[in-house]
Amino acid sequence: MNKLNFLQPDRNNFNTYLYTGTILVALSIFIVFLNSFFNKDLISFLPGTLSFFLPLILGFIGLHLIRIEYSGLKFLDSINKNINTNNFNAFLSLLIVFIVIKSLPPLLSWFILDANIAGDSKDVCTGTGACWTYIKIWFNRFMYGMYPNAEQWRINLSFIALAFLGTIGFFATEKFKKYLTLYYVVIYPVIAFFFIFFFISGGPIFFDFSYGIIAAVVSIIIGFFIPSKFKMYYFIVVPITLYILLKYVFFYEELIELGKLEALEWVETGAWGGLSLTFIVSFFV
Amino acid sequence: MNIKKILPQLLTLLVVILIFGFFSYNAQVNMENRGISFGYGFLSQESSFDVQFSLIEFDGSHSYFRAYLVGLLNTILVSVIGIIFATIIGVVVGIARLSNNYLINKTAAVYVEFFRNIPLLLQIFFWYFAALRALPLPQDTEPMFGVFFLTIKGFFVPAFVWNNLDIFIYSVIAAIISIIFIRIYARKKQENEGIQIPVLSISIGLLIILPLLSFLIGGVDASVEVPVIKQLSQSGFTYEGGIKLPPELISLALALSLYTATFIAECVRAGVQGVSKGQKEAAASIGLTPNQVLKLVVMPQALRIIIPPTTNQYLNLTKNSSLAAAIAYPDLVLVFAGTALMQTGRAIEIVSITMLTYLSLSISISIFMNWYNKKIAIKEK
């Protein structure tokens, strides 16, 4: 009776099943591979529907034949455990493998083989593939918008400096870890604001908005030392007073004069754009 | 002590009232200065613009109110299509991500990470400008299964031509109502006497037999109208007959459902993984079959985790459908808050109506989903 069990491999007839199954699976993958990469149809002599489904059927039978609980072969066991647990899974795995093989050649040819990257004008793009030349020429515009080419190092430097300042926390010693919250909540945004707005735009460091920031930061830091009984009145009164004082009494013209970055050229915010603007917006919102 | 509690609230209230007062006063003064009147009378005026795609009959001679209806129906159409497909894809992909099969698992993961990390607007652009523009012209199109034509001008599908459609619809409704009654009866019977009635097979039978009876006795008759190619000019072709789905609708529905499905898939995964393994093992140990474990133990507990975040995704999808304006799909925003607003210049009225419409759409979805959530929630005592 045991010999009749020809659909399930066991220890006795293991090798036969393994070889037959492997050959079937390899054959099915080979057929699809030839068909998709070299446009050769090995089984075109069969009727249409059958030749379309034959690789699937062959692979399915092959996977069924090599499905064994434990074989001792590492590769076979991992296949059986991961993609060949039952008929349904085997079918889906085959389908995914075939779809990947089928879709590789068009993607490859579009992205690499038929694509153009040489030259420096759009006219060289004659093929059916991607036109990387276009991307290459316009790369700066995609990254920086209308920002003047000569000044783009400012954006780069800002982002590098920000990334550097941001990663400092990872290398801080235990001793400084307790101050890191203060750094990330209060100081780092101010530095980031400074870099992104004033360094990139090249405008005055202080303007109307900065009074608000200074007032807020100063009053928050002092607020830690105010007894909780008075805290509410303190936070209602002090920041507003501070803001008004800063703006209208202490320094008005002075701060603006002081904060001007003389060496840097002023770049209108309208000229900002591209990916760098996306980063700036997502940083602050 | 008391004043400490009241003072901030009074201040906040004062600020809010001041802001609203300032804006309404400002609007009033400016509108008076420019001679703009306020009122909803313009809704009955003749609209004198045309809409590319509408579910109800519409041309320039109809009123602005009808333009509003056209936009609303189009928005609802794309939202409903999007919600249905997003749910189907989301559930399938969410379950696929839990598969033991390495390939299926990773494919689903790649799909989720790919589509949820690209902005929706870009995806809409991709489907509309890159994918659907690459389709063949109507005269070069190979039909799919002989009747579907996927062309650059849209997707042409055959339409059903009905006689006595109302009788058919009544028969379907009657079948559904009787199924509900049978379900109630079966549950009562099982609770009282422990006898199980095969509800599923009875329901399927009813759903087939009653509409079939309407064909045989009720005089219902349906024929299929296949789109046929027609020459408009020297090189201009189109299809006549059948139903035309414009490329805008297809790309919008495709992008919305593929994008939202990724989030729903994660909700489904969270829900199923949220049911502890011990529950399944315990259910299996008392002798339930895998199907029963899924139906009686896993799903009821998974659904209460799945539904609330999925409601969020449905709301997101409905509101994201306003991105239709980018590819000129005539939805509420494009038709009413776009064209009608440009023509009449009644910004406050039109924008308020549009906002209220989206608000009520979203609230009705969320009321429905809350009701459903309450219904399936596990009653804890």
pLDDT tens digit string along A125-136? 776 778 888 888
Mean pLDDT lowest among A130-134, B69-73, B183-187: A130-134
Mean pLDDT lowest among A80-94, A141-155, B120-134, B213-227: B213-227
In this structure, the answer to whether residues B130 and B163 fall within a common structural domain is no
Would you call A240 an interface residue with chain B, using a CB distance cutoff of 8 Å?
no
pLDDT greater than 80 at residue A259: no
In this structure, the answer to whether residues B180 and B269 fall within a common structural domain is no
pLDDT at B358: 94
User: What is the average pLDDT across A5-31?
Assistant: 78
Q: Which residue has the higher pLDDT, B123 or A11?
A: B123
Q: Which of residues 103-122 of B touch A (CB under 8 A)?
A: 103-104, 107
- Is the four-CA dihedral A50, A53, A56, A57 of positive or negative sign? negative
Q: In the beta sheet, which residues pair with residue B225?
A: B159
Residue B239 lies in a domain: no
pLDDT at B381: 63
ipTM of the complex, rounded to two decimals: 0.74
Average model confidence (pLDDT) across chain A: 79
pLDDT greater than 50 at residue A4: no
Could you give the CA distance from residue B34 to residue B22 in angstroms, rounded to a whole number?
Answer: 18
Residue B251 lies in a domain: yes
| Amino acid making up residue B30 | N
Give the DSSP H or E segment for A19: helix A14-33
Domain boundaries, chain A: 2-113, 137-284
Tell me whether residues B102 and A232 touch, CB distance under 8 A: no
In this structure, the answer to whether residues B283 and B356 fall within a common structural domain is yes
In this structure, the answer to whether residues B127 and B265 fall within a common structural domain is yes
pLDDT greater than 90 at residue B374: no
Tell me, rounded to whole angstroms, the distance of Cα B254 from its chain centroid.
Answer: 12
Residues of A in contact with B12 (CB under 8 A): none
Q: Contact B352/B24 with Cβ under 8 angstroms?
A: no
pLDDT at A7: 62
User: What is the average pLDDT across A62-72?
Assistant: 80
| Optimal mutation site among A75, A96, A234, A240, interface B, most CBs of chain B within 10 A | A96
Sheet holding B154-157, edge to edge: B149-151, B154-157, B243-245
In this structure, the answer to whether residues B96 and B214 fall within a common structural domain is no
SS3 label, residue A119: coil
Would you call B99 an interface residue with chain A, using a CB distance cutoff of 8 Å?
yes
Share of chain A above pLDDT 90, in %: 1
Rg (chain B; Cα; Å): 27
Q: In the beta sheet, which residues pair with residue B245?
A: B155
Residues of B in contact with A85 (CB under 8 A): 100-101
For chain B, the domain total comes to 3
Residues of A in contact with B107 (CB under 8 A): 96
Q: Residue A109 corresponds to which tokens in the numbers above? A: 């040819």
Instruction: Read off the pLDDT band of A251 (50, 70, 90).
Output: low
- Characterise B222 by phi-psi region: left (phi > 0), alpha (psi -120 to 50), beta (else): beta
Residues of B in contact with A96 (CB under 8 A): 103-104, 107
The string over B266-286, giving b where at least 16 C-beta atoms fall within 10 Å of a residue's C-beta and e elsewhere, is bbbbebbeebeeeebeebeee
In this structure, the answer to whether residues B266 and B347 fall within a common structural domain is yes
pLDDT at B282: 93
pLDDT at A239: 82
Q: Which residue has the higher pLDDT, A258 or B290?
A: B290
pLDDT at A3: 47
Contacts of B190 (CB under 8 A, 6+ apart): B196, B197
* Cβ neighbours, 10 Å, residue B344: 15
Instruction: Read off the pLDDT band of A260 (50, 70, 90).
Output: low
In this structure, the answer to whether residues B21 and B111 fall within a common structural domain is no
Tell me whether residues A97 and B103 touch, CB distance under 8 A: yes
Residue in this structure with the two tokens 């199924």, named with its chain if needed: B179
User: What is the average pLDDT across A23-47?
Assistant: 82
| Amino acid making up residue A94 | L
Q: Estimate the crossing angle of helix B102-116 against helix B247-274, to 10 degrees.
A: 120
Residue B150 lies in a domain: no
Average model confidence (pLDDT) across chain B: 87
Range of the domain at B9: 2-36
As a residue count, chain A comes to 285
Q: Which residue has the higher pLDDT, B224 or A33?
A: A33
User: What is the average pLDDT across B72-91?
Assistant: 94
pLDDT at B19: 94
Would you call A256 an interface residue with chain B, using a CB distance cutoff of 8 Å?
no
Q: Which residue has the higher pLDDT, B259 or B211?
A: B259
Could you give the CA distance from residue A218 to residue A208 in angstroms, rounded to a whole number?
Answer: 16
Q: In the beta sheet, which residues pair with residue B151?
A: B154
Tell me, rounded to whole angstroms, the distance of Cα B374 from its chain centroid.
Answer: 21
User: What is the average pLDDT across A248-272?
Assistant: 70
| Optimal mutation site among B4, B98, B101, B117, interface A, most CBs of chain A within 10 A | B101
Residue B314 lies in a domain: yes
Tell me whether residues A96 and B107 touch, CB distance under 8 A: yes
pLDDT greater than 80 at residue B114: yes
In this structure, the answer to whether residues B118 and B260 fall within a common structural domain is yes
Residue in this structure with the two tokens 């970055």, named with its chain if needed: A261
In this structure, the answer to whether residues B118 and B257 fall within a common structural domain is yes
Q: Residue B306 corresponds to which tokens in the numbers above? A: 């799945």
Would you call B102 an interface residue with chain A, using a CB distance cutoff of 8 Å?
yes
pLDDT greater than 90 at residue B75: yes
pLDDT at B140: 75
Closest residue to A85, CB basis, from B4, B8, B101: B101
SS (H, E, C) chain B: CHHHHHHHHHHHHHHHHHHHHHHHHHHHHHHHHHCCCCCCHHHHCECCCCCCCCCCCCCCCCEHHHHHHHHHHHHHHHHHHHHHHHHHHHHHHHHHCCCCCHHHHHHHHHHHHHHHCCCHHHHHHHHHHHHHHHCCCHHHCCCECCCEEEECCEEEECEEEEECHHHHHHHHHHHHHHHHHHHHHHHHHHHHHCCCCCHHHHHHHHHHHHHHHHHHCCCCEEEEECCEEEECCCCCEEEECCEEECHHHHHHHHHHHHHHHHHHHHHHHHHHHHCCHHHHHHHHHCCCCHHHHHHHHHHHHHHHHHHHHHHHHHHHHHHHHHHHHHHCCCCHHHHHHHHHHHHHCCHHHHHHHHHHHHHHHHHHHHHHHHHHHHHHCCCCC
